[in-house]
Amino acid sequence: MKKRTPTSLFLYRYRFHVGFILLALAYIALLFGLPLLAPNGLSESEMASAAHSYDLQPDSVLKGDIVNLPYRTLQKLSIMLFGLNVYSVKLPSIVIGLILGLLLILLLNRWFKTNVALLASILAILSASFLFLAGSGTPLIMLVFWPTLLLWLGSKIQGVTKPKPLYCFVFAFALLASIFTPHLIYLAAFIVLFALLHPHLRFTIKTLPTVPLILTLFIILMGLAALVVAAFVNPAIIPELLLAPGLTFGGFIENVKVAFLPLFSWNTTLESQFLSPFVGLASIALAAIGLLSTTKGFFASRNSIASCLIVFTIFLAGLNPESAILILLPLSILIAHGLRYILDKWYTLFPDNPYARISGVLPIGAFMGIMIYGGITHFLYGYRYVPMVADEFNNDVTLIQENLTQGETLYVINDEISYNFLKILQESHTFTVENQIPAPDQLPTKYATLGHQNIPGELNTIITSPKSDNSDRIYMYTSNQALEVELNSEERE
């Protein structure tokens, strides 16, 4: 009878396939369960994004309203199909997050060995920071999506003897689409400059077929021309895309400080929608090891790209603190470098000892398990129970839909973001939303206010919410005129 070896076992031969399948299933389950898990509400930025997306019209492009156009289109379609709720607001980010996770896995698998790519992918897309990004109903995810897509497409072009023209065209279209995301026009300029200065990439450009190269340049130039025309029609998009109007050096430094403080601080005194620490200490340690390991072959494109992206992220964070979210991409690459370095050193110590190699799986598995479990629990409980972060989210939509009935009016005073967001409810419900309180004799029979307001009438009910500072969130009233009519009718009886 033939003796079976470990390499002949099914799980050993298909271990990476099984690993990626389990990772995909876990990630998909977490993504579509995010609105029920954490942060369990909507932030002001998500409400502002939904209201802005819902205002999108078919002629918006002709009017120059092109900022974040792909994301806004998806978000409006989601709200129109499923109504205004937490899921419909977050669904575009969930779908894009699903594609982003796949792109990151493909990119790491392209640049690293399969074992390293699998471990790095698990740490990257199951981290608290990545889950938050994929569950945030704002265009913030596009800051990471476009660079990841461009890097993967670039990896399919660079290092290939005969790159397929299709990848060149898709790269050009992706580069074009990215410049309509705020401040990613700097990324497009950075990519072009990096490609011209880096010797390996410059050689790749020279070896590209002439016709695809010319068509690619033509697509990019046409995109820039479209951007110039849109800026001419609607000059308001210029500061929104560049994000640097009136910025001083002192303001730049302060923005960098504000941007990276919640990412790496280990305290909860900072009020922000980002949970501190946004990046765990173990991930930072792995990334630091990876950064040091790339110093020898720094001029290899995959080694230098992560370091250059970190410098570029710091620059963008100085323009807009929210842009610091882009740090997730270079950190994922550096974590893969760190894991590759650790595994290579371990195998170097025991080149011919299979038992030592197998025994190394145990501490690595324990380390990975602790990081994954810690990251997910940090995400689930932090956004629910850390006061400075949980206070940034509310469940007003659910409260209003459950408690306001036909004919009632909701007054939202001194809160433009909530007013613009809740106005969307009027199209699918029978109550109305207003931002001005009329004269007492013009008040409807039943009405409510979001938050406490000095308003005439009899207070009937106070709707409370665990997401509100003082628990009281909605005040339900009956007008004085309605009360007088009711009293008169009772006296007649």
Q: 95-114 pLDDT, tens per residue? A: 999 999 899 998 988 888 88
pLDDT value of position 159: 64
Strands (E), 424-471: 432-434, 446-450, 458-464
Q: Whole-angstrom Cα distance, residue 143 to residue 182?
A: 8
475 has which bridge partners? 449, 462
pLDDT value of position 271: 61
φ/ψ of residue 448, rounded to 5: -145, 160
Q: Compute the C-alpha angle 470/449/452, nearest 5°.
A: 35
pLDDT value of position 5: 56
For the chain, list residues with pLDDT below 50.
1, 486-487, 490-491
If residue 195 lies in a helix (H) or strand (E), which one and from where to where?
helix 185-197
pLDDT value of position 77: 92
pLDDT value of position 1: 46
For residue 167, give the nearest of 207, 212, 112 by alpha carbon.
Answer: 212
**Count of other CB atoms within 10 angstroms of residue 177:** 16
pLDDT value of position 345: 80
Token pair of 202, please? 């410059």
pLDDT value of position 489: 53
Q: Whole-angstrom Cα distance, residue 176 to residue 164?
A: 19
pTM: 0.86
Burial 462-490 (b: 16+ CB within 10 A, else e): ebebebbeeeebbbbbbbebbeeeeeeee
463 has which bridge partners? 474
Strand 432-434 to 393-394 pairing: unpaired
Token pair of 265, please? 């601080």
For residue 144, give the nearest of 256, 152, 302, 271 by alpha carbon.
Answer: 152
Give the max Cα distance, the chain: 103
**DSSP 8-state class, residue 112:** S
Q: Whole-angstrom Cα distance, residue 493 to residue 487?
A: 10
Residue where the block lists tokens 């995959």: 302
Q: Whole-angstrom Cα distance, residue 323 to residue 65?
A: 21
Region of 159 please: left (phi>0), alpha (psi -120 to 50) or beta.
left
**Count of other CB atoms within 10 angstroms of residue 4:** 8
pLDDT value of position 2: 52
**Count of other CB atoms within 10 angstroms of residue 281:** 12
For residue 122, give the nearest of 317, 445, 375 by alpha carbon.
Answer: 375
Mean pLDDT rounded to a whole number for the chain: 79
Separation of first and last alpha carbons in the chain? 101
